Amino acid sequence: MTGLLDGIRILDVTRFVAGPAATVLMADLGADVIRIETPGGAEDRSTLPFKDGFHGGVGFTQLGRNKRGLSLDLSKEEGRAVFDRLLPTADIVVANLPRRTAASLGLDYERMAAIKPDIIFVHMTTFGNDGPYADRLGFDAIAQVMSGLTHISGDPGKPMKHNSAWVDMSTGFLAAFGAMAALHHRDRTGEGQKVETNLLQTALTVGNYFLFDQYCNQTNRVGTGNRAQSGGPADLIQTKDGWVYMVALGDPMFRRFMRMIGREDLVDDPRFANDELRAENGAVLSAIVTDWARQYGNAEILPILEVNRIPAGPLLTPQEALDDPHVRDQFLVEVPVEGLARPLPYVKPPVTFSKTPGEIRKGPPRPGEDGDAVLAEAGFAPEEIAGLRAAGVI
């Protein structure tokens, strides 16, 4: 078998999360992704470092897999000249940098298209490339809090952002989707183009239905903790020995839930006549369900919920997620990573293909690990490479 994207080369000028999340999906499918970073290694390598002194942190190790490494100082004219010689060998360039920074490094679509007309440039920013916020810096958390979604998370008066970089990751996934669509267009027409995604628009897209709700209904929602705002019971419920999230949405499921806990009298209670009212009175429902659930341990209650066809899942710690038999057997693959004493439990590529599956072949590259090979493939002579290294360009 060969990878779905074998033969596609991507110059990856990304850092931290959103950009690497886009390019790693394509690397898993066989694209030749060349991570370009400053000589000595970029700043995102050290975030949440491994305790044994490994050359990359946990995030870099997750999102740097399957890539080759090239050190190149794009702030120098000589570095941009090297990049320009690499550009004709590439299909896609990906960067997640503010527009002024990107342009200062030579990552300008019009300039690159003049060198390689069918190049696809995927550019990710925080706020987009137009408008009053275009030149502001930002991270995932900034988009979370500006989207309206943090305001309706947590508890009233105590909004809560999510600790996972879900906006970054989602923006990266959208960027990979955009790159593939642009690649399809190029294959049909021969035309390259610029593809853009940004963090704030991603977060707003995820929560667009809440914007509809506010615009049309003026609900002025606030946080409801772990309770859903669209029905109930829907909450993280404490059991005798743990926590289980359980959800009832729609009348049939609500009736099944009430029968399950022996409270069929609540089916006709006007406080719970529909999903909207059940969400509004969700705290009452959660208290009733908790009284029922505390007589059971997690191992006892989950089969009861399953038999009654109530969606549910236990609250797991990261270690418990690693140990869960379904997670372990279905979604994890152990991959040796040079420099670490034991293989890492990578989550398998999140999209599966019956004929052209993705694969995690190796961990992330060391700084500049593949520089000589990449440059030689682009026609650089050994003495040129040695000169670039001596000048600190690579």
- Residue 2 is predicted with a pLDDT of 72
What does pTM read for this prediction? 0.95
Given a cut of 60, whether residue 42 has pLDDT beyond it is: yes
Would you call the peptide bond into 233 cis, given omega within 30 degrees of 0 as the criterion?
A: yes
pLDDT value of residue 53: 66
Report pLDDT digits (tens) over 201-215.
999 999 999 999 999
Of the chain, the percentage scoring pLDDT greater than 70 comes to 99
166: burial class by Cβ within 10 Å (0-12, 13-18, 19+)?
middle
d(CA 269, CA 174): 44
CA 197 to centroid of chain Cα atoms: 13
Which whole number is the average pLDDT over 381-388?
A: 97
Predicted pLDDT at 381: 97
Q: What is the mean pLDDT of residues 263-292?
A: 98
Which pLDDT score is estimated for 52? 77
Closest CA to 177 of 64, 63, 94: 94
161-201 per-position pLDDT tens digit: 999 999 999 999 999 999 999 999 999 999 999 999 999 99
What residues form DSSP beta bridges with 221? none
**CA dist., res. 292 & res. 284, Å (int):** 13
- DSSP per residue over 34-102, as a string? EEEE-TT--GGGGSSB-TT--SSBHHHHHHTTT-EEEE--TTSHHHHHHHHHHGGG-SEEEE-S-HHHH
Cα three-residue angle 238-242-246, rounded to 5 degrees: 50
8 Å CB contact between 378 and 90: no
Exposure string of 353-381, with b = 16+ CB inside 10 Å and e = fewer, is eeeeebbbebbbbbbbbbbbebbeeeebe
- The answer to whether 282 and 235 are in contact (CB under 8 A) is yes
Q: Which domains does the chain have, with CATH numbers?
A: 9-206+325-390 (3.40.50.10540), 234-315 (3.30.1540.10)
Q: CA-CA distance, 155 to 222, in Å (whole number)?
A: 7
d(CA 196, CA 115): 20
Average of per-residue pLDDT across 228-236: 97
Taking alpha carbons only, the member of 345, 323, 349 closest to residue 336 is 345
**Which residues sit opposite 333 in a β-bridge?**
346
Dihedral sign for Cα atoms in the order 65, 173, 371, 92: positive
260: helix, coil or strand?
A: helix
* 1 has a pLDDT exceeding 60: no
In this predicted model, what pLDDT tens digit does every residue of 96-126 receive, in sequence order? 999 999 999 999 999 999 999 999 999 999 9
Label residue 54 by pLDDT band (50, 70, 90): confident
Q: What pLDDT sits at residue 361?
A: 96
Decide: helix, strand or coil at residue 10.
strand
298-329 pLDDT, tens per residue?
999 999 999 999 999 999 999 999 999 999 99
Average pLDDT, integer, range 249-259? 98
pLDDT mean over 334-355: 95
Segments of the chain assigned E as strands: 9-13, 32-37, 68-71, 92-95, 120-125, 193-198, 234-238, 243-247, 312-314, 332-335, 344-347
70 confidence band (pLDDT: 50, 70, 90): very high
